[in-house]
Chains A and B, each alone.
Chain A
Amino acid sequence: MAYISQYEYYQNEGNSPEDVNWGSYQYISLKDIVVNYQLMYSGNHSLVNNEERYKILFHAKRAIQELNYDAFKEIKVLQLDVSESLRFILPSDYVNWVRISYYQDGVIRPMVENIQVNSANSYLQDNNYKILFDEYGNILKPEQSPLDLARIQGQKPSIYLNSLSPYNGLLGYEYEGCWYFDFAVGARFGLNTETANSNPTFRIDKKAGVINFNSAMAGNSCILEYVSDGMENGDDTQVTVNKLFEDYVYAYISYQILNGKLGVQEYVVNRAKKAKTALLRNAKIRLSNIHPGRLLMNLRGKDKWIK
């Protein structure tokens, strides 16, 4: 892509939205990657020759997907209110979650993932526990399983230290909805730290594509921080990659093509593999953003008196 003017960068040449090009110089587009690769790394005198463009495109996208999973650190954030059904439908470009919080009174409270199952499928059964079928032989299912129903109705006790805990109200005290120093918690050793959290809990049902919360989340606002694969819902024009990873993407494409090609010497494949790995490492270090100023702030604590 050609360089853009300052006017186009700052104000999108008077068009809306104004901010469309802000920060764009950090990134290189998918089209540029494919075109650059075809020009510079593929051809009569290159290791890669006579390869279809769709193969280069495929490997470029795969490289970007892999980078999005861990190396990029580009977190997407989505905030939605949770309805009475206690479900949060995963975003269409969701791949994995980073953190899930609920937002209350201007405070973001990170939630913990419930270690217990909180949602299930269920089949209708008769008095003899036989599964019921319809006239076509399909299993009859209730709208909600007993487990789901109990959770939604707030009848399912929680092993976490929130209002649904069986210990709730026994000992200790409640202050503005939060419990402190419950009997089984702070007053004795043996606290189960895994469940020592008073916030609502969640569990992700990947196949169903939803996050199921406990009943404390009804009506609350949920903030989902997640990673995507960078494919921008199939819109190739929006797919970009940070310039720090540009060389890695080229190396990745070369390696994948050479690795899958018949008759390429093993040392050539290994060379491509090493180049790919080294460039990924370099790019990760570059992107880690170890700034002296940030280190300085941490190191200032070294003189702090510890009681």
Chain B
Amino acid sequence: MINDIRNTVLAVLNKNNYGYISPQDFNLYAQQAQMDLFEDYFYAYNYQVNKENQRTSGTGYADIKKGYAEVIDFFSVTFNLSQVGANLDKFFLPSISTTGSDYYLINKIFIGSTELERIEQSKILLLNSSPLTAPSTMFPAYTTEASTATIYPEPLVTTNVACQYIRYPKPPKWTYVDLGSGSEPVFDQTQPDYQDFELFPDDATDLTMKILQYAGVSIREASVVQYAGAAEASETNSEK
């Protein structure tokens, strides 16, 4: 998908010799555009929930929310958490520095089949001091601080603490073979660092328009930015 999108972007940009963007710039814009759209999934999901509550959405093929849930679930990862040193109640959250994988949001942490409840730092002391609400093995809880989670009460077995989270999409990378000066770089998806967009093909148009907006700003071409902005808005409205 990434090569098609790049070709489209270049075709629009080069019309009337407006300009050209390098593979490096394209990769930067592509990553930014993908992140924008990825975050929009969650807002779009919430928008669809509100529409359902207003009874202005349907079921079956008209269930748009289900589609968003499927896309978001594509980025779902379940991961066993490891202890922080000898602390029996502290666990590393998934992050680049600790586990090598980053998370966008933690959906749940669980021990076996028991889900832990996330508690705000401002509430945990109050929660622990009330006999009726104090976390128990049946209703455990956790707080997060930096890249660690603290589990209440201390789990009896520390090997089956896991979390399910939504990860960031991998940064797209249009890889190429350089044929020397004066020649266009040629797309090469066999490169080890090649990475296609992780978003679904129906987002190709949105991705193209977003990249065009960034590129238009880059080459200082207002008409490109306006066209891409209007096209994206139109696309978004038609999907509501």
Interface residue ranges, A against B (CB under 8 Å): 30-31, 34, 44-45, 52-54, 57-58, 61-62, 231, 234, 236-237
Closest to A31 in B: B138
Contact of B131 among A44, A234, A237 (CB under 8 A): A234
User: How long is the Cα–Cα vector from A53 to B123 in the complex, in angstroms?
Assistant: 13
CB of A57 within 8 A of CB of B139, answer yes
Chain B residue contacts of A236, Cβ below 8 A: 136-139
Interface residues in chain B, defined as those with a beta carbon under 8 Å from any beta carbon in chain A: 49, 52-53, 117, 119, 127, 130-134, 136-139, 141
Q: Which residues of chain A come closer than 8 Å to B137, judged between CB atoms? A: 236-237
Cross-interface CB contact of B141 among A34, A54, A58, cutoff 8 Å: A54
Shortest Cβ gap from A125 to chain B (Å)? 40
Of A44, A231, A237, which one neighbours B52 at CB under 8 angstroms?
A44
* A54 near B131: Cβ-Cβ < 8 Å: no
With a CB–CB cut-off of 8 A, which chain A residues contact B136?
Answer: 234, 236
Measured CA separation A54–B119 after assembly (Å): 9
Chain A residues within an 8 Å CB radius of B138 = 30-31, 236-237
Q: Which residues of A contact B117 (CB under 8 A)?
A: 52-54
Pairwise interchain contact B127-A54, C-beta atoms closer than 8 A: yes
Q: Known: A54-B119, A54-B127, A234-B131. Contact between A45 and B139, CB under 8 A?
A: no
For A34, list chain B residues within 8 Å (CB): 139
Q: Chain B residue with minimal CB distance to A44?
A: B49
Residues of A within 8 A of B141 (CB): 54
Q: How far is the CA of A36 from the CA of B151 in the complex (A)?
A: 24
B114's nearest neighbour on chain A, judged by CB, is: A31
Chain B's closest residue to A29 (CB) is B138
- A289 nearest CB across to chain B (Å): 30
Nearest-Cβ distance from residue B209 to partner chain A, whole angstroms: 30
Q: Which 5 A-B pairs have the closest CB atoms?
A: A236-B138, A53-B117, A236-B136, A44-B49, A54-B133
Q: Which residues of the other chain, A, contact B130 by a CB distance below 8 angstroms?
A: 58
Bound together, the chains give a CA A117 to CA B117 distance in angstroms of 50
Determine the distance from Cα of A54 to Cα of B117 in the docked complex, in whole angstroms. Answer: 8
Residue of B nearest to A62 (CB): B132
- Shortest Cβ distance from B62 into chain A, in angstroms? 16
Q: How far is the CB of B210 from chain A (nearest CB, A)?
A: 29
Alpha-carbon distance between A54 and B139 when the two chains are bound, in angstroms: 8
B-side contacts of A237, CB under 8 Å: 137-138
Min C-beta distance of B59 to chain A, whole Å: 12
Nearest-CB residue, chain A, relative to B53: A45
Distance A58 CA – B53 CA, assembled complex (angstroms)? 27
Task: State in angstroms the CA–CA spacing of A144 and B134 once bound together.
Answer: 39
A58–B52 CB distance below 8 A: no
CA distance in complex: A231, B52 (Å): 39
- Chain A residues contacting B49 (CB-CB under 8 Å) are 44-45
In the complex, how many angstroms separate the beta carbon of A51 from the nearest chain B beta carbon?
Answer: 11
Residues in B with CB closer than 8 Å to A45 are: 49, 52-53
| Closest A residue to B48 using CB positions | A44
| A53: chain B residues within 8 A (beta carbon) | 117, 139
**4 more A-B contacts (CB under 8 A) besides A234-B131, A237-B137?**
A54-B119, A54-B139, A58-B130, A236-B137
Bound Cα distance A45, B134 (Å): 29
Q: Which of A30, A31, A57, A234 has the most CB of B within 10 A?
A: A57
Closest to A54 in B: B133
Chain B contacts of A234 at CB under 8 A?
Answer: 131, 134, 136
Give A35's nearest chain B residue, CB to CB: B115
A236 to B186, CA, bound (A): 65
Residue contacts A-B, CB under 8 angstroms, 21 given: A31-B138, A34-B139, A44-B49, A44-B52, A45-B52, A52-B119, A53-B117, A53-B139, A54-B117, A57-B132, A57-B139, A58-B130, A58-B132, A58-B133, A62-B132, A231-B131, A231-B132, A234-B131, A234-B134, A236-B139, A237-B138
Report whether B132 and A44 are in contact in the complex, using a CB–CB cutoff of 8 Å. no
How near does chain B come to A248, taking the closest CB pair, in angstroms? 18
Compute how far the CA of A234 lies from the CA of B133 in the bound complex, rounded to whole angstroms.
Answer: 10
Alpha-carbon distance between A31 and B137 when the two chains are bound, in angstroms: 11
**In the complex, what distance in Å separates the CA atom of A58 from the CA atom of B133?**
6
Q: Are A44 and B133 in contact (CB under 8 A)?
A: no
